[in-house]
Amino acid sequence: MSRPVDVLLEFLEAEQARGVTHVHLDDGAREALREVFNSAKAKKAAPPRLESTPTPTTAEIHLDPPQAPVATAQISIEGATRAEQIDSLRRQAENWAPAKSLGSLRETMVFSAGNPEARVMLVGEAPGYQEERERQPFVGPAGQKLNDILKAMGLSREEVYISNIVKFRPSTPKQTTNNRKPVAAEIAACLPFIRSEIDIVRPACIVALGETAAEGLLEITGTVASLRERWHDYQGTPVRVTYHPSYLLQTGDGHQTKRQVWEDMLAVMEKLELPISEKQRGFFLPKA
């Protein structure tokens, strides 16, 4: 006889097969899934993955979009200056068929901000509610936090190049201000853009903000905790992985994560040969 959870799993598989990407679950269903998840986790005994984006508060789960025929398209880079070339990418992203054809991303495209001649590029996950409204990356609460980090480094938004792996806000049912992490197919559909942006900007180093950016750029899997504190390589460009600013907003561990992010940023400043004062070196250290 099937257990209730098997019936639920069958239902979810059927929904996924017909293209449904989100379902609402009642408390009983959530509890059953939690048990399946916990027993699988106990079997694997794998370290927990850190979320870089707040989990939606509504009772919903996300399903990877079904395997649909993949829309293909080619990016062409036009223009003489880096700014013109970035603009040519921006125009192509507006109607990018591989992303549009998924049906799981929202309409409004959010591209990048900052200086296409910058020596440092910061890469996030995907636009959220506020970013979509303003059509600018990192302008909501996570963006404010990023501005603070840049200021502490002695940099402004205008001096750096800021972008996201995914160029559209991932959709959820009855969406208001809640955001979700992009799924693998959404990341894959948008990856050609961030790769072309890196080819154009040719930064001296890249900061991957959170797991999604790190995994998308470096094609590896791992938690931020396991990927930070060393240099990675993206086609000859050094990449530093650090926690997403929204994780800093969520975490309740006082100065500990702030200090970790700050140590990552000190490494970036050293790579860029930026001046670092003694005061800056001591930011977020526990008081003696």
Backbone angles phi, psi at 53, to 5 degrees: -130, 140
Stretch that binds ligand URA, among 7-15, 124-132, 235-243, 252-260 (CB under 6 A): 124-132
**Tally of CB atoms within 10 A around 128:** 27
CB of 64 to ligand URA, least distance (A): 19
Residue 38: how many CB atoms within 10 A of its CB?
A: 10
Q: Is 112 a binder of ligand URA (CB under 6 A)?
A: no
Q: Counting contacts by CB under 6 A, is residue 124 touching ligand URA?
A: yes
* String of DSSP letters for 104-157: -EEEEE---EE-TT-SEEEEES---HHHHHHT-SS-SHHHHHHHHHHHHTT--G
The verdict on 125 binding ligand URA (CB under 6 A) reads yes
Which residues from 197-256 bind ligand URA, rule CB under 6 A?
246
Neighbours of 259 (CB within 10 A): 16
Q: How far is the CB of 239 from ligand URA (least distance, A)?
A: 16
Shortest reach from residue 46's CB to ligand URA, in Å: 24
**Binding test (CB under 6 A) with ligand URA, winner from 128, 182, 192, 203:** 128
CA atoms within 13 A on the CB side of 146: 27
Nearer to ligand URA, 116 or 124 (CB): 124
**Residue of the chain from 142, 187, 208, 267 that contacts ligand URA (CB under 6 A):** 142
Distances (CA, A) of 48 to 38, 114, 225, 226, 257: 11, 34, 10, 11, 17
Where does this chain touch ligand URA (CB under 6 A) — which range of 80-88, 131-139, 152-160, 195-203? 131-139
> Nearest approach, Cβ of 128 to ligand URA (angstroms)?
5
Question: Considering beta carbons, is residue 96 or 138 the nearer one to ligand URA?
Answer: 138
Distance CA 127, CA 251 (A): 21
If one asks whether residue 111 binds ligand URA (CB under 6 A), the answer comes out as no
Please identify, among the stretches 10-18, 60-68, 83-91, 127-135, the one whose residues bind ligand URA according to the rule CB under 6 A.
127-135
DSSP bridge pairs for 209: 242
Under a CB-based contact definition with an 8 Å cutoff, are residues 122 and 241 in contact? no
Q: Which residues bind ligand URA (CB under 6 A)?
A: 124-128, 131, 137-138, 140, 142-143, 164, 246
